[in-house]
Amino acid sequence: MQFPFLEASILLPLAGAVLIGLAVPREDEGAIRGATLATTIVTFLISLPLFFQFDVAAGGFQFERQAPWLDSFGATFHLGVDGISLLLVILTTFLMPLTILCSWRGITDKVKSFHVALLVLEAAMVGVFAARDLLLFFLFFEIMLAPMFLLIGVWGSTDRIRAALKFFIYTAVGSLLMFAAIAYVYVMAGSFDMDVITAALAASRADGTLVATTQFWLCLAFVIAFAIKVPVFPVHTWLPHAHVQAPTAGSVILAAVMLKIGGYGFLRFCLPWFPEGVTHSATVPLLGALPSIATTMAWLGAIGVIYGALMALAQTDLKRLIAYSSISHLGLVVVGIFAALASSQGLQWTQGILSEPVAAKITQGHTRAVVGSIFQMIAHGLSTGALFFLVGAIYDRRHTKEIAALGGLATPAPRMATAFVMATLASVALPSTAGFVGEILILLGVFETSPIFAVLGISGMVLGVVYMLYAIQRVFFGPTEGPNKDVEDLDRIEITGLVPLIGFGFILGLVPGPFLSRLEPAVQALVKTYGG
């Protein structure tokens, strides 16, 4: 019998949280940090066989486990990963030890509660990506809310309460809408098992029971919940506030993992379950005909690319600048997911209206763009996680994030400047970085189906180079004055956390093959479920 790698990746952080909470004295901060770090490292090591033992040739969902849970509701403890969720699980377990290291010197209050919250959050995030039962997915989705709310509200900056409440309200509204759609889907399928739901919805679409208008409203409920998570313009306003107020660990986790749940949800639920709803134009009394969800999301993603970049260029707070850069980068991810479906042809190619060569070209471009979107989510997690790590290191030393108060830091802290430049190069998609692979795949795929969105995406990339290099020039170069002369350079703990983050961003850019080989078959199978 195969070792339960997925279950262990969820249960080990939970067990660590319980043991640390009950057995380690709150005064022994060194033991708390050490035990939490050890727990996250072991969790990462346990999750690695998921990557190396994944059968690329077989594809599909692997490492599946199913155990009784709520039998009377048709819910089971069902776990499994395909190439898409596999990479996101590994990203989560890889980042968590580094998150502990970035908080080593910055968190001095309620240290035990802080680390317990991080472990619970890790278990929930892995659970979201591994769940194959819809109710189980929703449970993990909601559990994430509590520890992140605490991270922002308890260990954040001066306006932390308002930022935490804003985060909670936005996420709760999205969750309520999604839960309503989940209830409807459950009634139709008679089960929460995702495989059963997928088959039941396909049968209902085939026999005409699940009409396009119903699909539209069900899809919209899921889309709003996941759009808030990404976040997509204009439901993005909670993110810059949350990032600025959150402790460094909270910002790293938000940027690197939690925002990716939105893109994952689009691909796992919205597109395969409601394909006609994604491209259907519904009519609403008083409002008239609404554009399709795909068209709306593609344009909102494109607006987010440009808007996020322009807002980043205007920021005076370094952390807020990076927060807006996330909106821009993830807007491109949304474009990659929806642009092909937003074209004037929509999904007509799945219905045999277009010629076979044209349909094949659209399918190929869409598949490439989706692969790039997922790869870009991984790349963004590494590069932006490193940038937030470094901003936290600057704040620990200077107690300010205002760009005007900084300057010339490369003189007293050359290692910090070097790390920031390398993380920035990864963020702006320099060739040889993971960001370059992700963004070029998105743009090539989108250009084949909707060139206008590719042009807008390229514009955002150019602006990204401008605002990031401008930030480096203001923060690290120029004259070194006042307190900036005495800034300490990165210590060994910080370097230990940053080297893997930045290093793997370049490794994925130079050797993307092993990761793409696991990802591409899963995306091809996904596109086939709604693309004919």
- Mean pLDDT in each 10-residue stretch from start to end of the chain (532 residues)? 87 95 90 95 96 90 90 88 95 95 87 95 96 95 94 91 93 94 94 93 89 91 95 92 91 92 94 89 69 91 95 93 94 93 54 53 83 95 94 91 91 95 93 94 89 90 92 91 91 93 94 94 89 58
Residue 40 within any structural domain of the chain: no
Distance CA 199, CA 209 (A): 13
- Neighbouring CB atoms inside 10 A of 25's CB total 9
pLDDT in tens, 385-431: 999 999 999 998 998 999 999 989 999 999 999 999 999 999 999 99
DSSP 94-107: HHHHHHHHHTTTT-
- The confidence score (pLDDT) of residue 366 equals 86
pLDDT in tens, 159-203: 899 999 999 999 999 999 999 999 999 999 989 999 999 999 999
Structure tokens at 29: 């901060």
- The confidence score (pLDDT) of residue 451 equals 87
- The confidence score (pLDDT) of residue 279 equals 86
Residue 89 within any structural domain of the chain: no
Boundaries of domain holding 521: 292-532
Residues pairing with 317 in the sheet: 402
pTM of the full structure: 0.93
Residue 481 within any structural domain of the chain: yes
- The confidence score (pLDDT) of residue 343 equals 63
Structure tokens at 330: 């993830």
- The confidence score (pLDDT) of residue 300 equals 95
- The confidence score (pLDDT) of residue 346 equals 45
What is the total count of domains within the chain? 1
- The confidence score (pLDDT) of residue 356 equals 53
H or E stretch covering 63: strand 62-70
Residue 86 within any structural domain of the chain: no
Distance CA 428, CA 325 (A): 10
Residue 284 within any structural domain of the chain: no
**Are 337 and 266 a contacting pair, CB within 8 Å?**
yes
Residue 356 within any structural domain of the chain: yes
Residue 504 within any structural domain of the chain: yes
Positive or negative CA dihedral for 480, 483, 488, 493?
negative
**Residue 507 exposed, middle or buried by CB count within 10 Å (0-12, 13-18, 19+):** middle
Residue 175 within any structural domain of the chain: no
- The confidence score (pLDDT) of residue 302 equals 95
DSSP 299-334: HHHHHHHHHHHHHHHH-SBHHHHHHHHHHHHHHHHH
Question: CB under 8 Å to 399, separation ≥6 — which residues?
Answer: none
